[in-house]
């Protein structure tokens, strides 16, 4: 069978193996180091019940920042994710507030039943922060959590958050603590881009925020794809395409009221952009809301395909699977023809 994949662009510099775990920040973009770790330290100074727990991934989930400040409140559970979440449930039952970290694939796939039975069903006050969401790792399906939102939003009692940048993560951490009950957060780690501080943005649990308005297209997005949507809106403005961006950081509970209000304005193409498979994530959640209330609009999805993704350099994979800036712009232009 003849391959349908585009030929490699030989004009671009050859990428090294390090690009498989490269920062999602663009060259020259403002970043902030380890926002989750630093926000958790700030929270724990006034909340003695906060403890940090991880399954051999403290360094790779920015929990090492917390561990350095509070070694006596940090628990390293080894390479045993089921044990991590079972123990976190027990800690919560005794009045502690565990912030647990691992990779999104290990929480959503390997330890799903333990979260379901010992945390969600018991409504335990456990906070789950998971790195490498969606296509933020080039190490293939074993490390690419392309379906975590579909799995986690289906779990009763579980709040699900997909923050965009460092500015938002710093606000999400105390909001998670203020919420009584289990929370799953997709975690961006390391040098995390700064985007939303330019939009006078404040995170509110369960609320979507219109970051910019536009008469031609409404892009509804979460996570790093909000950053891409804002970049695409600026690029498309050069072609006289006016794009609005509605950021939806809380996947569950979904802000149906705002989504319906903004999508229902006539004359706009609605595009949902997410760093997740097109099955079961934000796109289908939004489509379900719109159909149930009778809002019928031109609707498209930008997301990862329903297949096991390749290993490789992240910039290459983002181009291949349609979530890079250039591919987002190309898709929106094609739909407007």
Residue-wise pLDDT tens digits, 206-238: 999 999 999 999 999 999 999 999 999 999 999
CA distance 234 to 198: 14
Give the mean pLDDT of the chain.
Answer: 94
Instruction: State phi, psi for 50 to the nearest 5 degrees.
Output: -75, 130
pLDDT at 228: 98
Mean pLDDT of 247-267: 96
CA distance 241 to 56: 47
Residues 164-216 have pLDDT tens digits of: 999 999 999 999 999 999 999 999 999 999 999 999 999 999 999 999 999 99
Whether the predicted pLDDT of 86 surpasses 50: yes
* DSSP 8-state symbol, 313: -
CA distance 126 to 176: 9
pLDDT at 1: 46
Instruction: State phi, psi for 11 to the nearest 5 degrees.
Output: -75, -20
Can you give the pTM of this predicted structure? 0.93
pLDDT at 30: 94
Name the nearest CA neighbour of 102 among 53, 140, 136.
Answer: 53
Residue with more model confidence, 8 or 281:
281
Contact call for residues 161 and 185 (beta carbons, < 8 A): yes
Whether the predicted pLDDT of 15 surpasses 60: no
Q: How far does CA 168 lie from the centroid of its chain?
A: 11
Percent of the chain with pLDDT over 90: 90
Whether the predicted pLDDT of 13 surpasses 80: no
pLDDT at 20: 62
pLDDT at 92: 98
Residues 290-320 have pLDDT tens digits of: 999 999 999 999 999 999 999 999 999 999 9
pLDDT at 301: 98
Whether the predicted pLDDT of 250 surpasses 70: yes
81 three-class SS: helix
- Helix residue spans in the chain (DSSP H): 35-44, 63-69, 81-93, 104-105, 112-114, 148-153, 166-178, 224-237, 256-263, 282-293, 314-320, 325-336
């Amino acid at each position: 069978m003849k391959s349908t994949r585009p030929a490699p662009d030989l004009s671009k510099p050859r990428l090294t193996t390090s690009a498989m775990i490269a920062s999602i920040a663009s060259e020259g973009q403002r970043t902030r180091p380890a926002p989750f770790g630093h926000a958790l330290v700030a929270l724990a100074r006034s909340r003695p019940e906060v403890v940090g727990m991880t399954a051999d991934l403290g360094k790779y989930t920015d929990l090492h920042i917390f561990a350095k400040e509070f070694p006596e409140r940090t628990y390293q559970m080894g390479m045993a994710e089921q044990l991590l979440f079972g123990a976190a449930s027990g800690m919560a039952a005794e009045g502690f507030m565990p912030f647990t970290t691992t990779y999104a694939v290990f929480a959503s796939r390997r330890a799903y039943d333990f979260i379901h039975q010992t945390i969600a069903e018991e409504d335990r006050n456990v906070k789950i922060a998971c790195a490498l969401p969606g296509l933020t790792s080039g190490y293939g399906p074993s490390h690419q959590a392309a379906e975590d939102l579909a799995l986690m939003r289906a779990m009763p009692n579980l709040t699900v958050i997909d923050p965009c940048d460092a500015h938002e993560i710093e606000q999400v951490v105390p909001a998670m603590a203020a919420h009584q009950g289990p929370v799953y957060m997709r975690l961006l780690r390391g040098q995390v881009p700064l985007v939303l501080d330019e939009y006078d943005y404040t995170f509110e649990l369960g609320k979507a925020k219109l970051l910019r308005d536009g008469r031609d297209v409404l892009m509804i997005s979460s996570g790093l794809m909000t950053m891409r949507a804002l970049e695409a809106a600026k690029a498309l403005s050069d072609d006289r395409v006016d794009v609005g961006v509605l950021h939806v950081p809380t996947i569950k509970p979904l802000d149906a009221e705002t989504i319906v209000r903004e999508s229902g304005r006539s004359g706009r193409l609605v595009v949902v952009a997410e760093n997740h498979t097109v099955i079961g994530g934000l796109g289908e959640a939004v489509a379900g809301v719109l159909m149930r209330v009778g809002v019928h609009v031109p609707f498209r999805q930008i997301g990862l395909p329903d297949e096991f993704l390749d290993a490789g350099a992240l910039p290459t994979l983002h181009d291949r699977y349609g979530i890079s800036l250039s591919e987002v712009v190309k898709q929106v232009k094609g739909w407007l023809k």
